[in-house]
Amino acid sequence: MDKQRNPCPFCGSAQFEEREIEYLYSLHGKYLFVPNMPVFVCLNCGEVYYPATRLLEVERRFKAIYERAEQPDRYENMPVVELERS
């Protein structure tokens, strides 16, 4: 999605900012953490848009890592918190 030309489909704004976020990709109980995922953020409503080429790269790397064709850059541990249902 080219955020320079396409307006935000939620609010119609054409004002976007490029940022990097922490992205957690998951599929079938397996995870891949991407600490510097580039995104576009709508400056009006805050909606986050992921460049398709980057999402495809994350999916490719995820598959390659879990099929043992590639190694991840590193491993990290994450704490888990389960919230009570109210």
Question: What global pTM score does this model have?
Answer: 0.82
Predicted confidence at residue 86, as pLDDT, reads 77
pLDDT in the model for residue 75: 94
The gap from C-alpha 60 to its chain's centroid, in whole angstroms, comes to 14
Residue 45 domain-assigned?
Answer: yes
State the total domains in the chain.
Answer: 1
**pLDDT confidence of residue 79:** 83
33 domain-assigned: yes
Answer yes or no: is 71 within a domain: no
The reply to whether 61 falls in a domain is: yes
Q: Kindly list the strands in the beta sheet with 30-42, ordered across the sheet, starting from the edge strand earlier in the chain.
A: 16-27, 30-42, 48-49
Contact predicate 72/31, CB 8 Å: no
Q: 4 in a domain, yes or no?
A: no
**How far are the Cα atoms of 4, 18, 37, 53, 59 from residue 64, in angstroms, in the given order?**
32, 28, 18, 16, 9
For the chain, 86 residues long, give each residue's pLDDT as a single digit of tens. Answer: 455 568 999 999 999 999 999 999 999 999 999 999 999 999 999 999 999 999 999 999 999 999 999 999 999 998 888 889 87
Q: What backbone torsions phi and psi does residue 66 show, to the nearest 5 degrees?
A: -75, -15
Q: What is the pLDDT of residue 81?
A: 84
Residue 60 domain-assigned (yes or no) = yes
Query: Is there a domain that residue 10 lies in?
Result: no
Q: Which domain holds residue 53?
A: 16-66
Phi, psi of 37 (to 5 degrees): -75, 120
In a domain, 76, yes or no: no
